């Protein structure tokens, strides 16, 4: 089974007007995404942010649960947060994952606006092959990743849809659903 | 296709020590769950809380997006929040759904600790029948619903699992994943 990584991208992302911006890290993203990632066997979840103060904020949230109050309050939450790694750029995330898995991961793009693209069921099938390369799934915060991130992708996933046309999931929900489609049982 | 409802239960739920408590409503649950519910065609999402001040808090969060800042900031979020209804008890939720669908919904229990129970794929199949009754999925906040809620259920769903034994999803993630399993495409 392929090693699975994910990266939560805060720059470059777009805002509701399509402008390229840097979004803020939220502590709830860290918690929810760590818990979902650990449930589905993600090897490492990268929080990608170019601003040092924001990376320090994220580290503080995680340390709170690692060392202080959180350790005694909820050990399962601490365990999940340990798979998070905070990095400066997507390249740093790819380099770290490449070292961990001894092979460069296939980079997978996700977006609520992709009408074409690979079905999650097809990616799951690929990932279950015994010689499958590692896979890193990218998720955009804000209103999604900027178009330039798409150029980094080896695979583009089809958008998640329900029965209708409305799809405005939180990034926390999108991460959970895609992980479940790839690894759930 | 069956009418689909969900109810987010804040009492009676258990805390990390297994004590029966009432949990607080969080605004992020309202947002994330409304967005996931609307994406998957949920007819109405009930926020169940016995304390009037908590119900008023939830109403304030929704009104903020319905009337003020939120309406102009993000119309899609307002649209999602309109499917939320805040009620006192599970009985109120069932009564309201029964009126909306002209038939009492099957009540479906979810828990991270159910090793037996119905597979989501089987429930999906049942719900796709042309004469399927409405369905209401219950989700517990805190550390899950108290045992007494189980007695209200017509169907008990098997817990969501990834490849390993760890499953400590947020309720926001669990709602998203179960809706996707029942209605995703």
pLDDT at A70: 59
CB within 8 Å: B177 and A184: yes
CB contact under 8 A, A184 and B181: yes
CA distance A31 to chain B (A): 8
More confident site: A131 or A65: A131
Q: Are B146 and B14 contacting, i.e. CB atoms less than 8 angstroms apart?
A: yes
Of the pLDDT bands very low, low, confident and very high (cuts 50, 70, 90), residue A114 is confident
Q: Hey, are the CB atoms on A39 and B169 less than 8 Å from each other?
A: yes
When the pLDDT of each residue in chain B is averaged and rounded to a whole number, the result is 94
| % of chain A with per-residue pLDDT over 70 | 96
Nearest residue to A175 (alpha-carbon basis) of A98, A120, A115, A118: A120
In the predicted model, what is the mean pLDDT of chain A? 94
Chain A residues with CB under 8 Å of B179 CB are 162
Provide the ipTM: 0.94
Tokens representing A167?
């799809």
Q: Which residue has the tokens 């297994």?
A: B18
- Across the interface, of A35, A166, A184, the residue whose CB is closest to B39 is A166
User: Cβ separation of B16 and A73 shorter than 8 Å?
Assistant: yes
In order, the DSSP letters of A149-162 are: HHTT-SEEBPPP--
Which regions of chain B are under pLDDT 50? none
């Amino acid at each position: 089974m392929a090693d699975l990584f994910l990266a939560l991208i805060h720059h470059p992302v777009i805002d509701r007007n399509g402008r390229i911006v840097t979004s803020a890290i939220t502590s709830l993203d860290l918690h929810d995404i760590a818990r979902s990632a650990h449930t589905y066997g993600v090897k490492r979840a990268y929080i990608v942010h170019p601003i040092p103060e924001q990376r320090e904020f994220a580290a503080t949230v995680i340390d709170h649960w690692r060392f202080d109050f959180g350790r005694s309050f909820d050990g399962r939450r601490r365990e999940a947060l340990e798979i998070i790694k905070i990095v400066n750029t997507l390249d740093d995330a790819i380099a770290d994952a490449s070292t961990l898995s001894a092979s460069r991961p296939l980079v997978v793009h996700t977006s609520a606006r992709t009408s074409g693209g690979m079905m999650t069921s097809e990616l799951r099938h690929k990932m279950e092959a015994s010689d499958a390369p590692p896979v890193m799934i990218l998720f955009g915060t804000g209103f999604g990743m900027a178009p330039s991130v798409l150029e980094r992708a080896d695979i583009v996933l089809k958008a998640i849809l329900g029965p209708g046309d409305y799809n405005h999931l939180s990034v926390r929900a999108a991460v959970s659903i895609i992980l479940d489609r790839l690894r759930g049982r």
